[in-house]
């Protein structure tokens, strides 16, 4: 693949997931265009992800027809470097690329108010 050609990337992501934010951050770091498919609000995208990946965990990222299932941003970046789809970049990302959401973030996404008990 030439240095000017961009890989075809379809990312099956959740809108607010820490893992999904990490994948988006890696795409931004390398200035890679990609299809951001919302598996949280669009059941058809979720079904397609499960059919293509053979499992239900996300994120899943399809790059030039190769499905990377249940991956972190770090894993996607390492795979693209190994395949020489991108060159090493010293660019920084704004969010962690190797973790999910905290319990507080999950509660906020569901509209729940954390309950703290006093002893």
- Residues 49 and 62 sit within 8 Å (Cβ to Cβ): no
* Helix/strand/coil for 57: coil
Strand partners, 10: 35, 62
Cα-based distances in Å from 75 to 15, 55, 110: 19, 17, 27
How many other β-carbons are positioned within 10 Å of the β-carbon of residue 95? 12
User: What phi and psi, each to the nearest 5 degrees, are found at residue 43?
Assistant: -60, -30
Give the pTM. Answer: 0.83
Give the start-to-end residue ranges of the domains of the chain: 9-107
Q: What CATH architecture is 9-107?
A: 3-Layer(aba) Sandwich (3.40)
Nearest to residue 80, comparing CAs of 31, 39, 35? Answer: 31
Residue 2, pLDDT score: 44
Tens-place pLDDT, residues 9-46: 999 999 989 999 999 999 999 999 999 999 999 999 99
Residue 5, pLDDT score: 80
């Amino acid at each position: 693949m030439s240095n000017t050609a961009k890989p075809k990337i379809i990312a099956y992501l959740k809108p607010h997931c820490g893992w999904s934010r990490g994948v988006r951050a890696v795409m931004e770091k390398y200035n890679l265009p990609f299809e951001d498919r919302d598996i949280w609000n669009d059941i058809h995208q979720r079904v397609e992800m499960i059919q293509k990946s053979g499992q239900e965990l996300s994120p899943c990222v399809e790059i030039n027809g190769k499905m990377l299932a249940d991956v972190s941003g770090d894993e996607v970046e390492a795979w693209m470097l190994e395949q020489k789809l991108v060159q090493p970049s010293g660019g920084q990302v704004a969010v962690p690329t190797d973790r999910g959401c905290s319990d507080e973030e999950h509660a906020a996404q569901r509209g729940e108010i954390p309950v703290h008990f006093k002893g």
